[in-house]
Structure 1
Amino acid sequence: MRAARLTVVTAAATAAALTAVTGCTEKSKAGEGSDHVINVTATDDKCEVSKKEVPAGHLELAIENKGSKVTEVYVLFPDDRVVTERENIGPGTKQRVTAEVKAGDYQIACKPGMKGDGIRQAIKATGKNTAAKRDPRLDKAVAEYRAYVQAQADETLPLAEKFAQAVKDGDLRAAQAAYAGSRIGWERTEPVAESFGDIDPKVDVREDGLEDGQDPATDWTGWHRLEKALWQDKKIGDREKELADLLIKDLKDWQNRVGKAEITPTSMANGAKELLDEVATGKVTGEEERYSHTDLVDFKANVEGAEKSYALLKPVAQENDAELTAELDRQFAALDTLLDKYRADKASYEFTSYDKVGEADRKELSDAVNALAEPLSRLAAAVVAK
């Protein structure tokens, strides 16, 4: 939910950003002079890059935030689709991101404060217009992940339609009951939806995630606008019924486009990290589902999506970095076990209402997320062809 993270960054988010740096900045020093590495220096009003051309294939961004605001850095196609991104980069911290690019034109965007279109620099990938050389098992992983993403979209539509119909019927309780389940497939695969740039702000934005100049009365759409009506306002009017239809229209657009998304092994790995960032900045803090308090449903779905990407990439990653995959196995298992404490049984998506989860338990959840996020930030590098 990129747009929904455009809020004042909490202490948990800053901690997550700092944690993600630990263990990767030292490893990143080697190879900083490589033709494939672009050093990105972000400040509150600049986005400086060390070079404007790189060879097609694997690309690494060595990012340093020298500004006073939390920032995020994107590699974008000319039409603003996302190649890769790294969010919640705290002031004074560094991050390293691995991606794959074909020959062509791109933009690097730094977004201080995580708002707006960002400060942009044009770059070019040169050479033959072919994908980076990679292990055939990774091509299989991409194909399986593409099928998974499409299946999640296909399975989401009937659940969302059930939710939307309850809203249109004016049935408050039925709409509340259908709400969380309608979001699971989206939350599992959100980085792919976000890669299009225009869908996420329509269906998953929070009120405080609207851009400057947008009017909540007319410009706020999607699940969270309906969430507020159902739990805070406790009423369904004509506007909510219109928004239910619009939600389905936008989700059908997502369903039709998701199969055409640009997916690579590194985008899968980076997407898994993005899903953990989603948890750290929205779910653990209780900001994501601030009216319904169904944050733990989203939390679990984010973790499941990250775990799916990891499982598909693991055979190659394990050969390249067995220590990393052993750590990821431990941390995924620990987080899954911790989440099980908050639901009736392992087959159920009925989680404890998040407003009933105390501060000490929230910290335990946050610590488990951070413990997984750091090694997960190194997964993309582990699947890069040697």
Structure 2
Amino acid sequence: MASIRADRLVAAAALLCAASLLAGCGGSGGSGAAAPSEPTTDVKIALSDAGCEPTPASVPAGPVKFAITNSGSAKVTEAELQRDGKILGEKESLTPGLSGNFSLRLDGGAYSIYCPGGAKDTWTFTVTGGGGAPSAPADTSLAVATQGYHDYIVSEVDQLVPTTKTFTDAVRAGDAAKAKAAFAPARMHYEAVEPVAESFGDLDPDIDARIDDVTDPTRWTGFHRIEKALWVDNSLAGMAPLADKLDADVNTLKTKVATETYQPAQLANGAGDLLTEVSTSKVTGEEDRYSHTDLWDFQANIDGARKCFELLRPALAAKNPDLAQQLEARFTDVASGLAQYKKGSGNNAGYVDYSTVPQDQRRKLADAVNALAEPLSKVAGQVV
């Protein structure tokens, strides 16, 4: 959510140019797999101070690829596809000179392109034909994948609720030591499913905003606000209401994901979104800047991305076995890089304080993620 800082532009650029992602895995766009002969419609969006006008502004229902570029706007650095107030796809942190894309299968209807900061921040986008209920994926392995992703998301959020309550109970009790111990384990369940949470408007900022993401610090809520109280302010005074809100927001997320459906391309693009999270906020140390528990989040993002890949692997292996094999090797490389920073075992397992990881080792982690992002960016086009 936060803007890219100067000290991480190089790492972010490498990944953002490579990864094709979807932030927000709602099912509003339909869930069918494209037939091999079905053409994909290309839509171009040029970010500028004026906004983000889509070209063309009307397309036929079916697979659509959105290509977003920023040639020089510092004010407008992201574009979102929305429908009925829900984010279906987006590209964030496209600072001047960066570009990116995401793919979706869209049903007929009225959509909008939104780009905060533009002189005109909302643009009409229309999809013609193809109305009615979404069709099931023609490939049965993709149908299994989308159902499996639903089950995975529900399971992770089911675990997020009690682990968050362990954290918030300690906050309400004023037990700083217990709250610090519970912080990172709870967040792992959130970080694994963050692309889905981001699709629900303000829910993700309420749960996970960093100080950079809020215009009024007095309205800052969620994990990171309490993180600052624990590690910087060294006081939990006044945090009980924020703990209560965090519990309520996490329970809202549980309710919302229970009925969500997904399309195959959303798994692939969601995996890319998680890798972008790693490159733009975890590797740099921005995410958990007070607690330095970034490696926990790093692992959770990779776990979520790998789950998407594993669910799509049967279909991908049948269509492009070389790509499937390459991705397996790249995921293994990232896992090996993370493993050296683990400490403890069993219930005491965790990761070293990220502030102790030297810059050259952080660069190696970033390089492994970038090497994974490049082939992963090709998956959505195989399954949309």
Normalising by structure 1, report the TM-score.
0.88
2:55 is aligned, of 50, 58, 79, to 50
Q: Are residue 87 (structure 1) and residue 92 (structure 2) matched?
A: yes
More displaced, 199-208 or 45-54?
45-54
Partner of 1:47: helix, strand, or coil? coil
Contact (CA 8 Å) 1:14, 1:90: kept in 2 or not? no
Counterpart residue number, 1:187 = 191
More displaced, 7-16 or 45-54?
7-16
Instruction: Supply the distance in 1 between the matched residues of 2:154 and 2:298 (Cα, whole angstroms).
Output: 21
Counterpart residue number, 1:360 = 360
Considering only aligned residues, what root-mean-square deviation do their CA atoms show, in Å? 2.2
Matches within 5 A, 1:74-223: 74-79=80-85, 81-111=86-116, 119-129=121-131, 130-131=133-134, 134-210=138-214, 212=215, 214=216, 216-217=217-218, 219-223=219-223
> Which of the pair has the greater relative contact order for Cα pairs under 8 Å at 6+ separation?
2
Partner of 1:197: helix, strand, or coil? coil
Counterpart residue number, 1:264 = 263
Partner of 1:71: helix, strand, or coil? coil
Instruction: Supply the distance in 2 between the matched residues of 1:82 and 1:381 (Cα, whole angstroms).
Output: 20
CA distance 1:19–1:186, shift in 2 (3 Å): closer
Name the aligned partner's letter for residue 152 of structure 1: E
- CA deviation string 1:16-72 (max 9, x = no partner): 334443599xxxxxxxxx672111112233313211211112111122222243722
Q: CA deviation at 1:135?
A: 1.8
Counterpart residue number, 1:31 = none
Counterpart residue number, 2:32 = none
CA distance 1:107–1:176, shift in 2 (3 Å): same
Counterpart residue number, 1:27 = none
- CA deviation string 1:255-299 (max 9, x = no partner): 111123352111111111110111111111111001100000000
CA distance 1:351–1:357, shift in 2 (3 Å): same
More displaced, 342-351 or 301-310?
342-351
Deviant stretches of 4+, over 6 Å = none
CA distance 1:117–1:257, shift in 2 (3 Å): farther
Q: Are residue 63 (structure 1) and residue 45 (structure 2) matched?
A: no
Contact (CA 8 Å) 2:166, 2:182: kept in 1 or not? yes
More displaced, 240-249 or 61-70?
61-70
Partner of 2:239: helix, strand, or coil? helix
CA distance 1:322–1:72, shift in 2 (3 Å): farther
Instruction: Supply the distance in 2 between the matched residues of 1:97 and 1:177 (Cα, whole angstroms).
Output: 37
Counterpart residue number, 1:373 = 373
Contact (CA 8 Å) 2:45, 2:69: kept in 1 or not? yes
Aligned length: 362
Name the aligned partner's letter for residue 124 of structure 1: T
Partner of 2:122: helix, strand, or coil? strand
Instruction: Supply the distance in 1 between the matched residues of 2:104 and 2:268 (Cα, whole angstroms).
Output: 9
Q: CA deviation at 1:118?
A: 7.7
Identity, in percent, stands at 37
Q: CA deviation at 1:92?
A: 2.6
Instruction: Supply the distance in 2 between the matched residues of 1:101 and 1:56 (Cα, whole angstroms).
Output: 5
Q: CA deviation at 1:93?
A: 3.5
Instruction: Supply the distance in 2 between the matched residues of 1:23 and 1:60 (Cα, whole angstroms).
Output: 13
Partner of 2:64: helix, strand, or coil? strand
Instruction: Supply the distance in 1 between the matched residues of 2:343 and 2:153 (Cα, whole angstroms).
Output: 27
Instruction: Supply the distance in 2 between the matched residues of 1:287 and 1:55 (Cα, whole angstroms).
Output: 41
Matches within 5 A, 1:257-336: 257-336=256-335
Partner of 1:202: helix, strand, or coil? helix
Instruction: Supply the distance in 2 between the matched residues of 1:320 and 1:279 (Cα, whole angstroms).
Output: 28
Instruction: Supply the distance in 2 between the matched residues of 1:117 and 1:273 (Cα, whole angstroms).
Output: 29
More displaced, 293-302 or 375-384?
375-384
Normalising by structure 2, report the TM-score.
0.88
Q: CA deviation at 1:336?
A: 0.4
Q: CA deviation at 1:246?
A: 1.1
Instruction: Supply the distance in 2 between the matched residues of 1:321 and 1:67 (Cα, whole angstroms).
Output: 37
Instruction: Supply the distance in 2 between the matched residues of 1:272 and 1:294 (Cα, whole angstroms).
Output: 21
CA distance 1:11–1:257, shift in 2 (3 Å): same
Partner of 1:82: helix, strand, or coil? strand
CA distance 1:233–1:58, shift in 2 (3 Å): same
Contact (CA 8 Å) 2:167, 2:179: kept in 1 or not? yes
CA distance 1:117–1:363, shift in 2 (3 Å): farther
Name the aligned partner's letter for residue 296 of structure 2: V
Contact (CA 8 Å) 1:17, 1:88: kept in 2 or not? no
| Structure 1: gaps spanning 5 or more residues | 25-33
CA distance 1:135–1:288, shift in 2 (3 Å): same
More displaced, 306-315 or 64-73?
64-73
Contact (CA 8 Å) 1:83, 1:267: kept in 2 or not? no
| Structure 2: gaps spanning 5 or more residues | 21-38
Partner of 1:249: helix, strand, or coil? helix
